[in-house]
A = this chain, B = another copy of it.
Amino acid sequence: MTLPKPFLSDNAAAVHPRLWEAMRKADEPDNPYDGDALSAELDARFTALFGRECAALWVATGTAANCLALATMCAPHGGVVCHREAHIEVDEGGAPGFFLHGAKLMLVDDGFGSEGAKLTPESIAALIDPIRNDVHQVQPHAVAITQASEYGRSYRPDELAALGDFAKARRLGLHMDGARFANAAAFLGGSPEDAARSASGPVDSLAFGFIKNGGMGAETVVLFDPEAARQVRYRRKRAGHLQCKGRYLAAQILAMLDDGLWLANAAHANAAAQEVAAGCGDRLLHPVEANELFVRLTPAEREALRAQDFAFYDWGTDSARFVTAWNTRAEDASALGKAIAAL
C-alpha cells in the first residue's frame, strides 16, 4: 500500500518534536494565569527579533490574533479595508464582525498594479476617497494585509513601506495577517531577524502564525503600539482567550524562536513548494513565493493525481490548491511535481 501524500493544508500537520519537548518542560508552573515565567519572556524575545519595541501575546488561533489586533485600531463604527478575498472576509465565520462589534470590512479588488490579493495605496484610495466624510458611509479606520497573501504572494519591503506611508498619512492603522508570515519571511530571506524585519515592515500589529508551521495551538499577536498592547491584554481575557495554563502556549512559541526554528520550518515548506512548482510550468495561476500553489488542472487531471495518492483541494472548477508544510517529505514534493509535469 502506498502512503498518502498530503498537500491539503499546512494547518493539519503534526506538531514539531521540539515543541513537544518544550511543552513537557512547562509542566512545572510558576505563577499561574497570564503571569507565568514563559509568557513573560515573549515581549523581550519578539522585541529582539523585530528590532522594535513590541508586546507579544499568545492566543489559540489566527482568527483571534487578527481580530484582537484589529479591534485596537478600528472602532465599532469604523471600517477595515482588506482585499475581497482576504481570509478575514471569506473564511473566519464573521469573526471580525464579532470582535469589532459590527465594524465593516471594506473590500478592495486586485488592480492598480497589484495581484494575488495584495493591496496597494492606489487600490485603497480608490475605495475610500469617494466616501470621505460622508456621514452615511462607514469610514475606514484601518487596513489589513496578509503576508504571505491568500495566493501565496509576498509583499516586498518597498511595498510595505508604501502602505505604511499611506496608512500613516490617512491616519489608518495597519495590521498584518501573518498566518504564513514565516513563509513570506523565508522567501524574503536572511537571518531570522532580517527575515522578520523585511517581511513585517512598518505595520502596527502582526498576527504571527506558528500553527501552520509546526505549532499545536499558539499564535502570537505582536503589537508595536504600547496602548494597543494594554488593550489586548483585557480584550483577550474578555474574548475567552486568556488560557490559565498559557505557559504551554508560550513554550511552543519560544521553542519556535529558538535557533530560528520558525524560519527553518518555513524554508523547508517553501523549498517543497518550489519542487512542485518546477513541474507546473504555465499551469501556475500565481507565482510561487511561499508554500501554496494554485494550479490549473482539469477534473480529469485532478482525478489522475488523486489516483496516485496525492491529497489536495479543488480550487474552483478548473484548478487545484496544493500546500506544503514543515514536514512535507521531499520525495512527495518531487513526485507531485513530476506527476503534474507528466499529465
Contact = CB atoms under 8 A, between A and B. Distances in A.
Given A102-B98, A240-B59, A93 B12 contact: no
Interface stretch (A112-120, A230-238, A263-271, A279-287): A230-238
B95 A239 contact: yes
A245 B12 contact: yes
Interface in A23-47: 23-24, 27-29, 31-34
Contacts of A11: 32-33, 244-245
Contacts of A23: 216
A13 to B, nearest CB: 7
A27 B14 contact: yes
Nearest to A32: B12
Interface residues of A, number: 68
Interface in A88-116: 90-104
Given A217-B217, A242-B135, A94 B103 contact: yes
Most buried by B among A29, A34, A90: A29
A29 B12 CA distance: 6
A243 B60 contact: yes
Nearest to A233: B135
A138 B94 contact: yes
26 contacts: A11-B33, A12-B244, A14-B27, A14-B29, A15-B27, A15-B245, A23-B216, A60-B60, A60-B240, A60-B241, A61-B243, A64-B240, A64-B241, A67-B240, A75-B231, A77-B93, A79-B94, A91-B136, A92-B238, A94-B104, A97-B138, A98-B101, A135-B233, A139-B234, A212-B244, A216-B245
Contacts of A224: none
Tell me the interface secondary structure of chain A in the complex: loop
List of 7 A-B pairs having minimum Cβ-Cβ separation, nearest first? A97-B102, A64-B240, A12-B32, A93-B237, A63-B240, A11-B244, A14-B27
A121 interface: no
**What's the number of copies of this chain in the assembled complex?**
4
A64 B90 CA distance: 23
Interface of A: 8-9, 11-15, 20, 23-24, 27-29, 31-34, 59-61, 63-65, 67, 75-79, 90-104, 135-139, 211-212, 216-217, 231, 233-235, 237-245, 248-249
A135 B234 contact: yes
A235 to B, nearest CB: 5
A112 to B, nearest CB: 19
Contact of A95 (B63, B95, B212, B238): B238
Contacts of A242: 61, 63, 93, 135
Contact of A237 (B95, B102, B245): B95
A220 to B, nearest CB: 14
B60 A33 contact: no
A231 B101 contact: no
Contacts of A237: 63, 92-93, 95, 135-136
